[in-house]
Chains A and B, each alone.
Chain A
Amino acid sequence: MAKKIDQTQVRKVALLSRLELTEAEVAEFTGQLSAILEYVEKMNELDTDDVQPLAHCLPISNCFRADCVKESLGTEKTLGNAPQRDGEFFKVPKIIDSV
């Protein structure tokens, strides 16, 4: 049976997810991901012509909150887990482009 996903696709997904994979990992994940997709494909055996796509697994909607301010963490706590900080800011590798 043909693989559901090939190594090129795994490399692309890794790039988009900012993951660095070794050659061995690319081979391993290609096999694993293909197996997962094959398993999920079993669902295609069902006739879903008259079934609406599911937007959410809970049968509820409209869960809102009022526009009321709650206390935030404050700068010190917010930066508490940061690997690096620069004064009151998170410090991160230089960003060249942003969306």
Chain B
Amino acid sequence: MSNFPYKVVVGLEIHVQLCTKTKMFCGCAVEFGQPPNSRVCPVCLGMPGVLPVMNKQAFEHSVLVALALNCKIAEFTKWDRKSYYYPDLPKNYQISQYDLPLGANGFIEIPLDGGRTKRIGITRVHLEEDAGKNLHTAGNFSQVDLNRAGTPLLEIVTEPDMSSAAEVRALAVELQRMVRFLGVSVADMQKGHMRFEPNINLVITKDGSEYKTPIAEIKNLNSFRALERSVAVEEQRQLDEFLETGRVMGMGNKTTRGWDDAEQTTVLLREKEEAHDYRYFPEPDLVPVEMNERWLNDIKAGLCELPIKKQMRYVNEYNLSDYDAGVLTAERSTAEFFVQVVDAGGEPKRVCNLLTQAGLKLANEKVCSVAELGITAGNLAELAKMIEAGTVSASAGNTIMQEMVKSGAAPETIAEELNLMQKSDTGELETIVDEIIAANPKAVDDVKSGGKKCKKAHGFLLGQVMQKTKGQANPQIVSQILAEKLN
């Protein structure tokens, strides 16, 4: 075991697939799960003599993300060819942006424990085209599907400002909800809409000197869990390797490693940097993009309150816990629906509970968002008020919400139909309480005598009343009546 103090240094390279209807430079549809090689044309097939034309929506989506990441937007940006010799991009180059990215020098705030945040620098944001997919078969060949080739892909590079696996995960989650809030990506990691490649090394202090371990880049991460685990595992591996070999960072000793999810380990993919000889040069088939103030202002109009700001505001304005506010702001439509319900008179904490408990469960079942369940803000506010007033119990509230999704009826109607109204009518309840008191002299004595058994006996009598009313009595009111009668 090492007693040497060390720091982990992590930067991320992130690819986000933009949710445009068509590809970056041709009109082929971007659709997941289509028959192989069915969404391909001469442009994305790299036929000689074809000309790519920029998708304006993709460019504007990219600028919007760069703005949300507080980047400086380039007034002049151009396209470059990156040499790339793999069959999944048949042109033998990828159209990308090399020396003039559309956005640079920004930052993102990420949430840490206890409501704290940390600022992570964004080095650059640029737009490029995605490659197709190679499928590896059992035989001695590979299959290629070019449906994805040419899909608009946003590349975001962070500064090496993250210093733990948890921070890496926090950034990934924050970026996911940010691009979803902005409506520029579906950002589903399992479908490869978002790909994270961490660059990791350690700064180890030994005998008064600092040693930097060689940087490793990790690929093949398709879940937040894999991303976080891979950083933690690689941290330990680099520490062990340094203790064993003393190897430090040097020219050309950056490696590429792949994540093996089954083994929970990283494996060496590429040792040498030579494979990265991309030989960029300006793309002659595409003219540059010049940004002007008016266009930039039009794009800026698409910005919204970012999720982390919204989360902090919900904590302050609605008195919610950081956790609850985080769940509500995971999705923009849920966050906005919450406000509509509160504005319609629902008590914030009650509304939050309904949305994050029954609401999310129902939405998961129906594979839609909470806002799309078909419940109106007015009806949900009404339900929250009923729970607040004790007209229905919190658990009955969940049942009623389920019915509201099914029938679209008002909560009162459902509560009456299903007999879920709590009896809060003191006159009626007093009669029942009297009956129970008369029938249970032993428990009544225990309550009256005080001492250890008092609380238990009170609970027993309350339970009897609830049973008699088939759970429809308001337990708080029954408890009050019992206390009054027995003291």
Contact = CB atoms under 8 A, between A and B. Distances in A.
Contacts of A95: 86-88, 134, 136, 142
Interface in A64-89: 64-75, 78-79, 84, 86-89
Chain B contact residues: helix, strand, loop or mixed: loop
A90 B29 contact: no
Interface in B7-46: 20-22, 26-29, 35-42, 45
A67 B56 contact: yes
Given A55-B78, A86-B143, A72 B290 contact: no
Nearest to B55: A67
Interface string A39-76: 00000000000000001111011111111111111110
Contacts of A93: 140-142
A80 to B, nearest CB: 10
Contact of B141 (A66, A69, A94): A94
B87 A72 contact: no
Interface string B65-107: 0000000000010100001111110000000000010000000
B55 A72 contact: no
B460 to A, nearest CB: 68
B86 A99 contact: yes
B287 interface: yes
Contacts of B53: 63-65
A75 B35 contact: yes
**Residue among B27, B42, B131, B270 having the largest count of chain A Cβ atoms under 10 Å:** B27
**Residue among A62, A67, A71 having the largest count of chain B Cβ atoms under 10 Å:** A67
Interface residues of A, number: 39
Interface stretch (B165-173, B277-285, B361-369, B372-380): B277-285
Interface residues of B, number: 56
Contacts of B142: 91-95
B18 to A, nearest CB: 10
Nearest to A54: B282
A73 B27 contact: no
Contact of A56 (B39, B56, B284): B284
28 contacts: A16-B279, A55-B76, A61-B289, A61-B290, A62-B289, A63-B286, A64-B59, A66-B57, A67-B58, A68-B22, A69-B29, A70-B27, A70-B41, A71-B27, A72-B29, A75-B37, A88-B35, A88-B36, A88-B37, A88-B145, A90-B87, A90-B144, A92-B134, A92-B141, A94-B136, A94-B140, A95-B86, A99-B84
